[in-house]
Amino acid sequence: MAAAPALFKKKVKRVGIVYRHGTPAAAAMARELSKWFQHRKINVYSHPKQKIDAKVKHVTDPSKLDLVVVLGGDGTYLEAVRMLKCERVPVLGVNMGSLGFLTVSRSQDLYSLVELALAGELEMRQRSMIHVTVRSGAKIKDEFTCLNDLVIERGPTARLIHISMTVDNMPIAALKADGLIVATPTGSTAYNLAAGGPILHPEVDALVVTPICPHSLTSRPFIFPDSRKIQFSIQGQGKRAVLTADGSKKATIGPTDEVWVERERNGHLFIRKVGHNYFSLLREKLKFGERA
C-alpha cells in the first residue's frame, strides 16, 4: 500500500522563480510574484539566464533555495529542473504554456497556491529521474540527469542507426531504427507516448525503452525495473548518434562510446494540491479514455 504523501512544511525564506522565456505575460507575472514574496520578507532569486528586476539576484547555489515556482509550460519546468542540478528543492508548476502536463496548476490559482505552500498545506511528491553516463573506454566523457527522457537519435543522417542494448551486462537486443527513447514514468506521457510507448504510473519504479520508427515489426517497447543499469552503444564503423536529455542536446556519440543509464540517487520533488488525481490529469491533458 502506497504511503500517504507528506505535506510541504518547510519555512520558506528563499524562493527561485523561473518563467517562460519570450512570453511578456509570464515575465510580468514573475515581477508581480517577486514583489509579493518580497513584501513578505522572502528573498527571491531568478534563473541565471533570466532577469526579473534590479532587486532580484540570480541563483548561484540551488541547494540554498527552499522552493522554486515555475511560470510557463513543460519546457520551462524542465529548465528549472536543470537549474536545480538534482538538489532536492520542491517545485510548484503553474501553467502558462500550451499542454502543461508538468505545470498542472492554473495561472489564476497562483497566489492561492503560494499561500497554501507558505502555510504548509500542499502535498509533496517525489518523481524518479535517470542518471546518464557517457563513457569511452575507462574515460567518462559526460554525465547528466533527466526527469523526462533520454533520446538516442540518428541526427542529420538519413540512414537508420544500429543500437545494441544490454541490461546489467546481459545482451538484450540489437535495434535498427531512427533511435530510441529511455523514459521515466514522468516522461512516459511525452515523446515515449507519441512513439507508441506505454503510459507508466508515476509511482512505478520502472524505465521504458521505446524504439523510434524501428525497421523490424518485432521491435517493441521494453519495461525494466529502474534498479537495473542499461547500456547502449552504436554499431558500425563511422556511425554516430545524438543524445538529447529532456529536449536539450547533450552529446554526440560514436562506436567507441557507451551510454549507461540508471536511476538517479536523488529524485525530483514537486508540490501540488492535496488529493490531486493523476487519472484526471490524463483525461484533461491527453483526453485519455475518451471515445473517438
Tell which residue, 148, 182, 29, 137, has the closest CA to residue 80: 148
What residues form DSSP beta bridges with 209? 182, 222
Are residues 74 and 48 in contact, defined by beta-carbon separation less than 8 angstroms?
A: no
Cell of 243: 543524445
Q: What are the C-alpha distances in Å from 279 to residues 139, 191, 288?
A: 44, 19, 8
Distance between CA atoms of residues 39 and 109, nearest Å: 19
Distance between CA atoms of residues 19 and 26, nearest Å: 6
Angle, alpha carbons 243-20-156 (nearest 5°):
25
Are residues 129 and 184 in contact, defined by beta-carbon separation less than 8 angstroms?
A: yes
Q: What residues contact residue 73 under an 8 Å CB cut-off, 6+ apart?
A: 20, 95, 96, 97, 98, 99, 100, 103
Cell of 150: 533520454
**53, 74, 109, 205: the active-site residue:** 74
Are residues 27 and 71 in contact, defined by beta-carbon separation less than 8 angstroms?
A: no
Q: Is residue 103 classed as helix, strand or coil in its secondary structure?
A: coil
φ, ψ of residue 278 in degrees (nearest 5):
-65, -35
Tell which residue, 261, 26, 268, has the closest CA to residue 144: 261
Mark whether 74 is an active-site residue: yes
Count of alpha carbons within 13 Å of 189, Cβ hemisphere only? 20
H-only helix segments in the chain? 24-39, 74-84, 110-118, 191-194, 278-286
Positions marked catalytic: 74
